[in-house]
Structure 1
Amino acid sequence: MKKFSLLFILLVIVGTTQTQAQFKVEDVTLPNTVTFSGEDLTINGAGMREKFFFDIYAGGLYLKKKNTQANSIAAADETMAIKLHIVSGMMSRSKMESALRDGFKKSTKGNTSSLDERINTFVGFIKEEIEEGQIYDIVYEQGKGSVIYKDGVEKGYVEGLDFKKALFNIWIGDNPADKDLKNEMLGAF
């Protein structure tokens, strides 16, 4: 009986730890922490990107420490990440490319001339068709640049803090892709 009680307590502790190590966004489970470049990041907030009432992806913002100030997050020269968990077959490679290009125009108020070459390079890293269930990590790694990972595999990176600022402002800037998602990433809900 003593062994059974000990096993039960251990299972409860493990189960509780696993539950606390995840963040639920509708039917998608995002991790509470991720590690990039040897740096641990914690989820700041997360939500669902919707378009015309359809769920497209669950998105989470990961930082070294919680922050609700979009401008300071975008300008910070420190490792951070945005995780995109694709939940719809409506998201294709061409739609992602179009969304990124449109997002850069909005985040820079149409002034992309100094970023155009790097935008083309970054968008070019998305070569394969996008499928439901895939996970993209858009990570700014301090000392390296803006890196894109697909299902945990690095696809390439672009240097420059100015590029990172424009990239992260696609989601958390003054004219974001989805205002509700921005607020959720910033922990406002």
Structure 2
Amino acid sequence: MTNRRKMMQATAAAVLLASSGGRHAFAATDVAGVKFEDSASVAGQTLKLNGAGIRTKVIFKVYALGLYLPEKKTGTAEVLASQGPRRVQIVSLRDLSSEDFGDAFMKGLNANTDQAERTRLLPQTKAFGEMFGAIPGLKKGDVLIVDWVPGVGTQCQLNGKKIGETVPDLAFYNAILRIWIGDNPADSSLKPKLLGAS
């Protein structure tokens, strides 16, 4: 009887697994109440959540951020050299004006690029700045996605709607990533989380 019961339990477990398709679609990482799915699809390719954490300023939680890559990477140079699409997902944890967010973006960009690179990326930085000017800001719970699509460029979505122009240069996307994982990251405690530290 006990063997039969074990067999029935095993069968029930197998049926449950089969009904879920054996997928981990509901697997997610929780960061300050924000759930980051363990995978995301960009340009038809499945990306893995490399890491996620919170950007804090003084004592305030500003936003939660997740970094998605084709394969897990643990170093900044590896991330920047990564082939294929990439995604940064930002979920606002408080209301932010477009000026505040844009200023923080520019400060982070300037802190992690040299003068020559800033000059070269100026047209694309201006285009990105216009995007911040076109939105009123981020409300608590808003989701901003910044994707790199090979052969296309940097694309942004706010709450699922495309915003701004596509920016074509990979160097610009890498400059954006360095805001959080560069030598002078916006938040030194966030950087190791994005690079997969537990």
Q: TM-score, normalised by structure 2?
A: 0.83
Moved more, 46-55 or 21-30: 21-30
Q: CA RMSD in A?
A: 2.4
Distance 1:98 1:31 in 2: 29
1:133-152 alignment runs, 5 A limit:
133-152=141-160
Match of 2:139 in 1: 131
What whole-Å deviation, never above 9, does each CA across 1:59-109 have from its counterpart, x for those lacking one?
Answer: 0010011110111212334211111011112x2211111011111101103
- Following the alignment from structure 1 to structure 2, what is the Cα–Cα distance between the partners of residues 59 and 26? 11
Aligned pair partner of 1:171 in 176, 180, 185 = 180
Contact kept? 2:75, 2:195, Cα under 8 Å:
yes
**Aligned residue-pair number:** 183
- Structure 2 unaligned segments of length 5 or more: list them: 1-7
Write the deviation string for residues 39-62 of structure 1: whole angstroms up to 9, x where unpaired: 111101100110011111110010
Partner of 1:188: 197
Percent same amino acid at aligned positions? 28
Give the superposition deviation at 1:34: 1.0
- Whether the 8 Å CA contact 1:77–1:161 is kept in 2: the answer is no
What amino acid is the match of 2:48?
T
Q: Tell me the alpha carbon deviations over residues 113-153 of structure 1, each in whole angstroms, 9 at most, x when there is no partner.
A: 11111101012123222111110111111111111111122
Residues 1:35 and 2:41 are matched in the alignment: yes
TM-score normalized by the length of structure 1: 0.87
Mark the CA change 1:128 to 1:68 in structure 2 (over 3 Å): closer, same or farther: same
What is the 5 A alignment of 1:149-168?
A: 149-155=157-163, 156-168=165-177
CA contact (8 A) 2:47 2:86 kept: yes
Larger Rg: 2
Give the direction of change, closer, same or farther, for the CA distance of 1:97–1:137 in structure 2 (3 Å limit): same
Of 77-86 and 44-53, more deviation after overlay is shown by 77-86
Q: Which runs of 5+ in 1 are unaligned?
A: none
Give, in whole Å, the separation in 2 of the partners of 1:17 and 1:159. 34
